Amino acid sequence: MAHKFEIYKDKAGEFRVRFKYNSEVIFSTEGYASKPSAKNAIESIKKNGPEAPTDDTTD
């Protein structure tokens, strides 16, 4: 699989989500106190991400 979500614990002990494509980290989330909260973040990204507009602030 070329892409995946990965839940991991950071140095502070918080759960974070990162999205990888071909082993390269594309983005990561804020820290969450619980694993279920991290899983909810993944579901929110899957649900809302495809419809998200692009905000180009380079103009």
Question: In order of start, what are the domains of the chain with their CATH numbers?
Answer: 3-44 (3.30.160.160)
- Closest-CA residue to 17 (of 2, 3, 25, 29): 29
pLDDT at 59: 80
pTM of the model: 0.83
- The tens place of each residue's pLDDT in the chain, 59 residues long, gives 789 999 999 999 999 999 999 999 999 999 999 999 999 999 999 999 989 999 999 98
pLDDT at 32: 98
pLDDT at 13: 97
